[in-house]
Amino acid sequence: MPASAELIDAFCDQVWLQDGLAPSSLSSYRRDLTAWAGWLDRRGSSLLAAQRPDVEHFLAEQFRAKAKATSIARRLSSLRRFYALQLLQGTLRADPTLRVRAPKLPRRLPKNLSEAQVEALLAAPDPETTLGLRDRAMLETLYATGLRVSELVGLTLAQVSLDMGVVRVLGKGSKERLVPLGRPAAEAVRRYLALGRPHLDRRYRPELFLNARGGALTRAGAFLILRKLAGKAGLEPERVHPHLLRHSFATHLLEGGADLRSVQEMLGHADLGTTERYTHVSDRRRRETYFQAHPHARRLKPHEESPA
């Protein structure tokens, strides 16, 4: 029987070939399965000998240890994917995760910045410096396209057409999509390419966004840049991250009248239901605006009384 480490390595190789997952996703699978294998080993069992009660006890221990419901759900999802592959390959006859109930997750609405907050953030970089030109182009691109941070840092020069005003994005599962690039974003990228990037490109890198040493900008680098600029813009740095601009992109599009299917395609969501979360944010904003603005709909203040 293969050792746990060999099974986990083979599984990660297989899902990477099938889905083209990002390194962070593969790390999550490996971390979850390694924890599961270690838990089984301490009880004299193994990955291929596990039964449904083992899975339930494992998850119950996570609950008692105060793990988040999202973390527990992710671990169960990792186990399910692992055992589904074992069944497919014939190394297992029964799936121990079958009929194991996942924790109920709260439906969280995406958070986003207001249009005024976005404008303040976009104005934060110094346009007179090389890094300021890069940062402005990066922020404009994030907000104009709704890219994931992994898609942004992986963007190459060849994927951007300023003349056509589009970005060719390689998203999750190596799925390609075309996303429009608005005029302000295209102009910011054009200025960066002409006046900023030549001072950074010491290694002839293909990536659009480079760090101060001339290498490709990383996810961590993008996070740090955004937090620094958020503080400069008067926002709360700890709550500003690249995905927040993706949320803002989607919400502002829907508030501006864009149809849900188009927003889904631009975001690269496989499931329309994922995109529909943004309609709740948009609807809530409309209701708040309505009650604040309409003379016959304004909510009464505590000291006011309704007419008899």
> Any idea what DSSP says for residue 176?
E
Structure token pair of residue 279: 């309609």
Element (H, E) at 167: strand 166-170
Q: What is the pLDDT of residue 305?
A: 47
Which listed residue (75, 205, 246, 252) is catalytic? 246
- Give catalytic status of residue 269 as yes or no: yes
Q: Which residues of the chain have pLDDT under 70?
A: 1-2, 19-22, 105-110, 173-174, 270-271, 273-308
Query: Which CATH code for domain 115-292?
Result: 1.10.443.10
Q: What is the pLDDT of residue 277?
A: 64
- Give catalytic status of residue 278 as yes or no: yes
- Give me the CATH topology for the region 4-89: DNA polymerase; domain 1 (1.10.150)
- Give catalytic status of residue 228 as yes or no: no
DSSP-based helix, strand, coil % in the chain, nearest 5: 60, 5, 35
- Give catalytic status of residue 246 as yes or no: yes
Distances (CA, A) of 233 to 117, 240, 295: 8, 11, 34
Predicted structure pTM score: 0.59
- Give catalytic status of residue 252 as yes or no: no
List CB contacts of 45: < 8 A, sequence separation 6 or more. 54
Which listed residue (148, 197, 247, 252) is catalytic? 148
> Any idea what DSSP says for residue 100?
P
Q: Taking a C-beta distance cutoff of 8 angstroms, is the pair 135, 225 a contact?
A: yes
Q: What is the pLDDT of residue 301?
A: 47
Q: Taking a C-beta distance cutoff of 8 angstroms, is the pair 159, 169 a contact?
A: yes
d(CA 270, CA 265): 8
Question: Residue 177 CA to chain centroid, in angstroms?
Answer: 16
Q: Which amino acid is at 3?
A: A
* Domain residue extents for the chain: 4-89, 115-292
Q: What is the pLDDT of residue 2?
A: 61
Q: Can you tell me whether residue 257 is helix, strand or coil?
A: coil
pLDDT digits 0-9 by tens, 266-307: 887 766 766 666 665 555 554 554 445 445 444 444 444 444
Q: What is the pLDDT of residue 14?
A: 85
Average pLDDT over the chain, rounded to an integer: 84
Which listed residue (52, 80, 168, 172) is catalytic? 172
pLDDT digits 0-9 by tens, 84-104: 999 988 888 899 999 898 887
Which listed residue (199, 228, 243, 277) is catalytic? 243
Which listed residue (134, 197, 252, 269) is catalytic? 269
- Give catalytic status of residue 148 as yes or no: yes
